[in-house]
Structure 1
Amino acid sequence: MTEQEAVEQGIAELASEAFVVGFPLVFDLEQVGRFTHEGLGAVPPTPFNAFGHARTLAGPETTFVSVNNDTLYSIAQLDLSIGPVRLTVPAVGDRYYVLQFVDAWTNNFAYVGTRATGSAAGEFLLVPPGWEGEQADDDPTVIRFPTRVGTVVGRWAVAGEDDLPAVHALQDATALTPTLETFAPPAGIPEVAAGPTEALTFFERLRVWSREFPPADHDRDALATYEPIGLTGATPIAELPEGVRDALEEGYAVGKQALESSLHTTVPTTGGWQVNLHVFDYNTDFFEVGALDSRGWQLTDPTTRYARRAGAALGGLWGNHGYEAAYFPTYVDAAGEQLSGARVYRLRLSPTPPVHAFWSLTMYDVPHFFLVTNPIGRYSIGDRTPGIVYDDDGGLTITISATRPDDAKAAANWLPAPEGEFRPLLRLYAPGPAVLEGSYRLAPIERTDSIDSADSIDSIDSIDSIEDSITDEETR
């Protein structure tokens, strides 16, 4: 290997690391910009510092990773370059809702809602980094943003079509009001036009946006290691030497492949389910109202934190902490084979998930994690699904297949699947202690089109014991 080749290999290795470290920022801000110009599914395009409200539940037209079909969204992109903004929320009664606050690096740093602040009406003052305003005792609760631009993701539980008008009224009563008079528009996100390749576009956005939206102090140290290869400096990526740009292309490809494969391999599984309540625990610096500043909810190991953060952004951007909503995805059946619409499956939940709010199982395609068009317009099934039929013991048996079951009970409890590969995701809103402590166990999804049903049911205990030993080994 020549000296030049060694240099370029070193640059490629650093670039692959930089891709993982910087992916959440770039991906997040791309979606923020997309939201203000295009909207998100049923949420219309909305300018900064205003809520956009979905009036209908998400469907296959909502091309956003792992979008939920349980709630109506109210989403706002905040740009506090205009100064503090006042948030007003209405009284909601016994309805579950949450307003989740996410910074530009995808840190969940505050929560307002049923779990965090209760069901009463309230006001909050959203302030930019470095704000030094004075606050009286009777002033609204201050929520400090780590970055000038941030996202508020609101979710409102909906009991059905008849419940929509009541939720619409709550959405309309949720308001953002600037506190300073100004004719200047929000500064927004610096425009970075698409470059000649996907890789060079990514690294130019990382260069520009990381300078505009600095991360936590210890993350700045990580970014500083990429300055020698031009990823955080003042020189545009397009003006770097050709050999450097070629190495960046190589590093981008390696980092991207590693990130995509990590979604399948980095999380311990139980019964085929990826069981990790801490996938969004990479925030270790910013804790405002509703966010738990507890070491039990903080991932501090830098060797895994950046990879976890990038995987969370790719597989579930703007997902909640586990104590607000627990997420359990799976790609495989009880035999460890990839789930596919070419087969028929059964999932038995007995007991059903213990939650303080509600739970649901949502179907997504692979690899995009989008909702899937189906003949009955059902994208998720859960404890609020009309017409489901429970088992005699109070459990629920769900049929998962691309074709509608002939049996009436199976059809009532049918979660339609695409014809190709798929990934269901179980969501538990306000999960109960048994979930948070790890004592609640999920049975595997079983294939039923080629195995004896009775034998399959009897095999769950032995499968669980095997999974116990595997999981113990993986997590030691």
Structure 2
Amino acid sequence: MRQPSCPRPSRPRLSCLAVLVCAMGLTCAAVAQSPQPTFRLVSQSPASSPAAPAVSGAELHDIAVDAYVYAYPMVLMELTRRNATNVQTPMDGRAPMNMFGHKTAFPDARTPDVRWPSTDTLYSSMWYDVSREPVIVRVPDAGNRYYFLSLLDMWTDVFASRGTRTVGNRPQTFAIVGPYWQGTVPPGVEVVRSPTSMGWVLGHVQTNGSADYPGVNQFQSGLVVQPLSTVSPAYGQTGKTYMPVTGNVDPSLNTRTPPADLVASMDAATFWGIFSEAVRNNPPHANDYPMLDRLRRIGLGGNPPVAYSRLDPTVQQALAQAGPEAGRRIADYVAGLGSGYNGWNTVSEGIGTYGTDYLRRAAIAYAGLGAGVPEDVMYPVTSIDSKGRALDGDKDYVLHFDKGQLPPVNAFWSLAVYGPNQTFAENQAGKYAIHSNDALKYNADGSLDIYIRHKAPGRDKQDNWLPTPASGPFMLNMRMYWPRTIALDGAWAPPPVRRD
């Protein structure tokens, strides 16, 4: 009998986290439909019998709910990894393991299935596996561009950020090594230890309009990954040019359905089968052991983890029934994320590193898998004006910044308009965002007005015009790259959007 499926947390109307990864099309894009994948469970000896849980009743239920919340990010990351690497060669942001895939052009209003697209940066993505040996990552000179590479482990924690803010723009070479690896790397190579054997490198590269594509694409092509054994004499270097291997394609993978939706529709056996397999090579964090002790009380945990089919039937039932409540908890947490001021919702802390706050980690993974640290970029979002009314395309608005009150950043900022489906709104100007490095016109007193409306505001205001849909609700997303402390600590907030 099929167990009840894990719930689909209802997406909130507005999430400032969902902009983080959907723009790459890695977790939100739809491609060819394939059958639902089959996942292998960790087997146990047929002679063994399920051990009765040490708890029952309400306590069993509570632990089962906590278990789902704890495991959710790992399962979502694993499905996303399988989706993003299920290609023979790099294509449209996807690539085989240990290779970069790149987005080489901006999406527009006609680009399907890309939520919260961006015209600020082009994206590069690399899923790595260092279980056998480290990989060497080479980054070229970035010139005057702002960029950053977020390195995430399989639990979604950002364990390193490499880029303008942290290491500067000169060429760099670093080695991603596994949690237990011991060895040496070539001189000049910095060791970056991944807490898990697999993980994700997600890069953002400043792009100043479509005319800047060639320069950015050249930088992207200079992002090179290769195994340590191909560059270090200690590992049998042959001196031959390294040729990346061709990836393996699994035609049974369902790469059409977003991974978050796949997880939401899973039965408990599939969910725990994926988790059991993924966690074998991607160990828990050191501070997770109180949670692991809690999970062992219902028969979960161990190395290798116990297969779902070998759990006591009462535990199987508890895990299946816990799914809906876990989903509700995640959804409720997502809906309450961020702090609001002047109608804007901003999340500026507790992103990218979570400690033992497993509910927050799960909620942020669901809302925007791949979330980096706010020190690299912040995403204030609003869907209301200064009086709390929903933004509507048939109204005219002004966003006014007093002199000295522009978004406080060390790099640059932007403001983009999105329709109700979090996609760019079609407009005759083909303009979807305003950027701080655009030729904006400032007022005589040094203040800045951005005119947010469907119709052009007139020739003298054209440069500061941000087109909206002809009618209906829309949202505004501000992106602040390398925000200053005054923004990170909440002392600065965007001004309210006023109806003109």
TM-score range, shorter chain: 0.7 to 0.9
Q: Is the 8 A contact 2:133 2:228 kept in 1?
A: yes
Cα distance change on mapping 1:97 and 1:251 into 2, 3 Å: same
Quote the residue 2:380 is aligned against: 328
Letter in 1 for 2:152: V
Q: CA deviation at 1:273?
A: 1.9
Runs of 5+ in structure 1 lacking a partner?
A: 1-5, 285-301, 454-476
Q: Is the 8 A contact 2:399 2:451 kept in 1?
A: yes
TM-score by length of 2: 0.72
- CA distance in structure 1 between the aligned counterparts of 2:399 and 2:311, rounded to whole angstroms: 54
Cα distance change on mapping 1:186 and 1:37 into 2, 3 Å: closer
Q: CA deviation at 1:342?
A: 7.0
Cα distance change on mapping 1:322 and 1:420 into 2, 3 Å: same
**Structure 1, residues 238-262: CA drift from partner, whole Å, max 9, x if none?**
5656654454343222221222232
Cα distance change on mapping 1:172 and 1:266 into 2, 3 Å: closer
Quote the residue 1:253 is aligned against: 324
Quote the residue 2:210 is aligned against: 161
Cα distance change on mapping 1:38 and 1:358 into 2, 3 Å: farther
Cα distance change on mapping 1:54 and 1:80 into 2, 3 Å: same
**Is 1:34 aligned to residue 34 of structure 2?**
no
Larger CA deviation: 270-279 vs 200-209: 200-209
**Structure 1, residues 162-217: CA drift from partner, whole Å, max 9, x if none?**
2111111111112111122699999999x999799524233433343233322211
CA RMSD of aligned residues (A): 3.7
Q: Is the 8 A contact 1:8 1:243 kept in 2?
A: no
Quote the residue 1:315 is aligned against: 367
Q: CA deviation at 1:58?
A: 3.7
- CA distance in structure 2 between the aligned counterparts of 1:232 and 1:341, rounded to whole angstroms: 52
Cα distance change on mapping 1:96 and 1:266 into 2, 3 Å: closer
Quote the residue 2:412 is aligned against: 358
Letter in 2 for 1:80: V
Quote the residue 1:291 is aligned against: none
Secondary structure of residue in 2 paired with 1:37:
coil
- CA distance in structure 1 between the aligned counterparts of 2:247 and 2:293, rounded to whole angstroms: 28
Secondary structure of residue in 2 paired with 1:226:
helix
Cα distance change on mapping 1:363 and 1:206 into 2, 3 Å: farther
Quote the residue 2:294 is aligned against: 225
Q: CA deviation at 1:104?
A: 0.7
Larger CA deviation: 356-365 vs 406-415: 406-415
**Is 1:91 aligned to residue 141 of structure 2?**
yes
Larger CA deviation: 157-166 vs 316-325: 316-325
Could you tell me which of 267, 272, 284 is aligned with 2:338?
Answer: 267
Quote the residue 1:278 is aligned against: 349
Quote the residue 1:467 is aligned against: none
- CA distance in structure 2 between the aligned counterparts of 1:238 and 1:418, rounded to whole angstroms: 55
Q: Is the 8 A contact 2:196 2:283 kept in 1?
A: yes
Which aligned pairs between 1:57-456 and structure 2 lie closer than 5 A?
57-59=106-108, 61=111, 63=113, 66-134=116-184, 138-180=187-229, 197-200=265-268, 201-232=270-301, 234-237=305-308, 240=311, 244-283=315-354, 302=356, 305-337=357-389, 339=391, 345-350=397-402, 351-364=405-418, 370-375=422-427, 376-385=429-438, 388-400=440-452, 404-408=454-458, 409=461, 412-416=464-468, 422-446=474-498, 448=499, 453=500
Relative to total residues, which structure has the larger helix share, 1 or 2?
Answer: 1
Q: Is the 8 A contact 1:364 1:372 kept in 2?
A: yes
Identity percentage of aligned residues: 27
Quote the residue 2:71 is aligned against: 22
Letter in 2 for 1:227: R
Cα distance change on mapping 1:132 and 1:268 into 2, 3 Å: same
Q: CA deviation at 1:119?
A: 1.5
TM-score by length of 1: 0.75
Q: CA deviation at 1:109?
A: 1.1
Secondary structure of residue in 1 paired with 2:83:
helix
Cα distance change on mapping 1:356 and 1:248 into 2, 3 Å: same
Q: CA deviation at 1:90?
A: 1.2
Q: Is the 8 A contact 1:66 1:316 kept in 2?
A: no
- CA distance in structure 2 between the aligned counterparts of 1:414 and 1:157, rounded to whole angstroms: 20
- CA distance in structure 2 between the aligned counterparts of 1:420 and 1:251, rounded to whole angstroms: 39
Q: CA deviation at 1:47?
A: 0.1
- CA distance in structure 2 between the aligned counterparts of 1:102 and 1:419, rounded to whole angstroms: 40
- CA distance in structure 2 between the aligned counterparts of 1:348 and 1:326, rounded to whole angstroms: 20
Letter in 1 for 2:169: S
Runs of 5+ in structure 2 lacking a partner?
A: 1-54, 231-235, 237-243, 255-261
- CA distance in structure 2 between the aligned counterparts of 1:37 and 1:82, rounded to whole angstroms: 20
**Structure 1, residues 346-397: CA drift from partner, whole Å, max 9, x if none?**
433333212221111234556x7x43342344443321346x5444444443
Q: Is the 8 A contact 2:116 2:424 kept in 1?
A: no
- CA distance in structure 1 between the aligned counterparts of 2:62 and 2:155, rounded to whole angstroms: 22
Cα distance change on mapping 1:261 and 1:47 into 2, 3 Å: same
Cα distance change on mapping 1:418 and 1:9 into 2, 3 Å: farther
Q: CA deviation at 1:80?
A: 1.0
Q: CA deviation at 1:19?
A: 2.8
Letter in 2 for 1:279: G
Q: Is the 8 A contact 2:346 2:378 kept in 1?
A: no
Q: Is the 8 A contact 2:379 2:477 kept in 1?
A: yes
- CA distance in structure 1 between the aligned counterparts of 2:58 and 2:481, rounded to whole angstroms: 46
Larger CA deviation: 404-413 vs 260-269: 404-413
Number of residue pairs matched? Answer: 417
Task: Give the structure, 1 or 2, with the largest relative contact order (CA under 8 Å, sep 6 or more).
Answer: 2
